[in-house]
Amino acid sequence: MSNKAWIEKRKNVVLMVRIFLAVSIVLLLLDLVIHRHDLFSWEGWFGFYGFYGFVACVALVLAAKVLRKLVMRREDYYD
């Protein structure tokens, strides 16, 4: 008997990745048929919001790396 949690089992991880991929593809395909009222011309580009979200996520991770260096304290700071 395995002591792993359900999320640590390989078959469950593979299932979650496949579900995430399927939902992402469906949302991207819906971008073709759903009409949006765009404020700027580039918002009408196919897949714009997915690309924008990805770039924003990467920017947040990079900003967090820089901020960590600025606010990090020594391990024994509160001792």
Q: Please state, as a whole number, how many other Cβ atoms lie within 10 Å of the Cβ of residue 52.
A: 13
Return the amino acid letter for 56.
A
pLDDT of residue 77: 83
pTM of the entire structure? 0.67
All residue ranges of the chain with pLDDT < 50 are none
pLDDT of residue 4: 84
Here the tokens at position 36 are 């949006």
pLDDT of residue 56: 98
pLDDT of residue 74: 85
pLDDT of residue 1: 58
pLDDT of residue 33: 92
- Is residue 52 within 8 Å of residue 38, measured between CB atoms? no
